[in-house]
Chain A
């Protein structure tokens, strides 16, 4: 494993969805909630870990979830908003199902911070994420070897996990082979080590 640079980003931000209501129905509401989240994220930047807390939410329509969460993850993947790590907590059986359906439709993934599982379009990435959790800090080549897949394949999977805030990446302190190389770690709170 590589020796990591001291972590600069320590801000932890928790976003309680319940502040917008316990029964959440409309896309208008979802857009309001997303904009408020964007504003808080921008004001608190740089953010090491964003926790989106669904605790206390009784029910949400898939339309609300899509407008709030689906479009938020689009912004995250596009780099329009930034957080080293993003996790969802406080989901129950019903709300988790709605989140999963919406992420699948947009072919997105998100980390369930309570179960440490990937939600959404995770059929391929679930095993990759599990291996990443086992490795801790690692390079793409190490993951490729552990999974028995090609390096480009590993890089593609890692790109999606980074875009979803499941993993954090940074340039290696001293690349042994020169050129661009990244090390990856779980996007976590506090000291930046260990699982979420």
Chain B
């Protein structure tokens, strides 16, 4: 299989650029990638690990752009890939400085790493967005972390990364975070609860998952994603994109206006991918 990562935010598009190949290996072709987002990085790590778990080798073709490759390296994607991954392309020399106030490198998200990751992301959010907005945004980020830990568990694990943007080029102060797990996916999880056994597609399951009180367990829970959308901030523009199986959901919120849309795609993913972006006027 070949997955092409080209342009900007290729994994947010309706359809992923996937081509079948004769063998079981996966080629992640990022040569034409113009901008690497946390989602591109974490999804790449998750895909490579999912294939490695079944004995299939992954190949990563690094971006042609030196700047993008340098960023991929700085975000520790190459360290996060499973051993045996074949990387093609020139890796530049790195001069590393501490950027813990503005980014979280690609990291394996597991119960034993979740606490340190939460603390780090809490610092990024509050330092970049200020105490009030930062704490609110953290609550949303924390729900994504909890979902991956609680529902996305698998032997391949989950991956997380985040980046704060100053807004010098876009006009918005932004924080982007992505969590990609390789677990059972939202549809299978939701159908474990007999109340939701009638849900048959991943797109439908994602729509259910952002409604209050909907959970794959029979416990009083299932408010994580609705709380995220409702509470990230009353002043931010919030975008949440979820992929699970062949389902894709886009949700947006600006002040009291909210919109959610889901669809079925041609290229399914293993597990669940979550991408959250909050934007503020400087």
Say yes or no: B119 contacts A26, CB within 8 Å: no
Say yes or no: A94 contacts B142, CB within 8 Å: no
Q: Given that A26-B149, A105-B223 are known contacts, is A94 also in contact with B115, CB under 8 Å in the complex? A: no
CB nearest to A70 among chain B residues:
B220
- Give complex CA distance A164, B110 in Å: 34
Q: Given that A25-B118, A26-B118, A106-B220 are known contacts, is A62 also in contact with B126, CB under 8 Å in the complex? A: no
Say yes or no: A22 contacts B122, CB within 8 Å: yes
Q: Given that A66-B221, A105-B220 are known contacts, is A21 also in contact with B119, CB under 8 Å in the complex? A: yes
9-residue interface stretch from B100-108, B133-141, B181-189: B133-141
Which of A21, A25, A59 counts the most B-chain CB atoms under 10 A from its CB? Answer: A25
Grouping DSSP codes into helix (H, G, I), strand (E, B) and loop, the B interface class, with mixed when no group exceeds half, is helix
Residues of A within 8 A of B132 (CB): 94
- Give complex CA distance A62, B221 in Å: 10
Residues of A within 8 A of B115 (CB): 21, 25-26, 29
Contact among A26, A70, A105 with B145 in the assembled complex (CB-CB below 8 Å): A26
Say yes or no: B119 contacts A61, CB within 8 Å: no
Interface residues of B, CB < 8 Å — how many?
A: 28
- Give complex CA distance A64, B114 in Å: 13
Distance in Å: Cβ of B104 to nearest Cβ of chain A: 12
Check if A143 is an interface residue, CB within 8 A of chain B.
no
Contact among A22, A26, A106 with B142 in the assembled complex (CB-CB below 8 Å): A26
Contact among A21, A27, A62, A105 with B118 in the assembled complex (CB-CB below 8 Å): A21
Which residues between 112 and 166 of chain B lie within 8 Å of chain A, taking CB atoms?
114-115, 118-119, 121-123, 126, 131-132, 134-136, 138-139, 141-143, 145-146, 149-150
Which residues between 77 and 117 of chain B lie within 8 Å of chain A, taking CB atoms?
111, 114-115
Distance in Å: Cβ of B235 to nearest Cβ of chain A: 14
Which residues between 26 and 44 of chain A lie within 8 Å of chain B, taking CB atoms?
26-29
- Give complex CA distance A98, B224 in Å: 12
Distance in Å: Cβ of B37 to nearest Cβ of chain A: 22
Interface residues of A, CB < 8 Å — how many?
A: 23
Which of A22, A63, A64, A66 counts the most B-chain CB atoms under 10 A from its CB? Answer: A63
Interface string of A63-86 (1 = CB under 8 A from B): 110100010000000000000000
Q: Given that A28-B111, A94-B135 are known contacts, is A23 also in contact with B142, CB under 8 Å in the complex? A: yes
Distance in Å: Cβ of B49 to nearest Cβ of chain A: 21
Check if A58 is an interface residue, CB within 8 A of chain B.
yes
Distance in Å: Cβ of A151 to nearest Cβ of chain B: 32
Residues of B within 8 A of A21 (CB): 115, 118-119
CB nearest to B112 among chain A residues:
A28
Distance in Å: Cβ of A55 to nearest Cβ of chain B: 15
Say yes or no: B119 contacts A22, CB within 8 Å: yes
Which residues between 117 and 156 of chain A lie within 8 Å of chain B, taking CB atoms?
none
Q: Given that A21-B115, A21-B119, A23-B122 are known contacts, is A62 also in contact with B223, CB under 8 Å in the complex? A: yes
Residues of B within 8 A of A59 (CB): 122, 134-136, 138-139, 142
CB nearest to A23 among chain B residues:
B122
Check if B246 is an interface residue, CB within 8 A of chain A.
no
Residues of chain B at the chain A interface (Cβ within 8 Å): 111, 114-115, 118-119, 121-123, 126, 131-132, 134-136, 138-139, 141-143, 145-146, 149-150, 220-221, 223-224, 227
Question: Would you give 23 A-B contacts (Cβ < 8 Å), ordered by A?
Answer: A21-B119, A23-B118, A23-B142, A24-B118, A25-B115, A25-B141, A27-B150, A28-B146, A58-B131, A59-B122, A59-B136, A59-B142, A60-B142, A61-B139, A62-B143, A63-B146, A63-B150, A63-B224, A64-B146, A66-B221, A94-B132, A98-B139, A105-B223
Residues of chain A at the chain B interface (Cβ within 8 Å): 21-29, 58-64, 66, 70, 94, 98, 101, 105-106
A-B contacts besides A23-B122, A63-B146, 11 pairs, CB < 8 Å: A25-B118, A25-B142, A25-B146, A26-B114, A29-B114, A59-B138, A61-B146, A62-B227, A63-B143, A66-B221, A101-B227
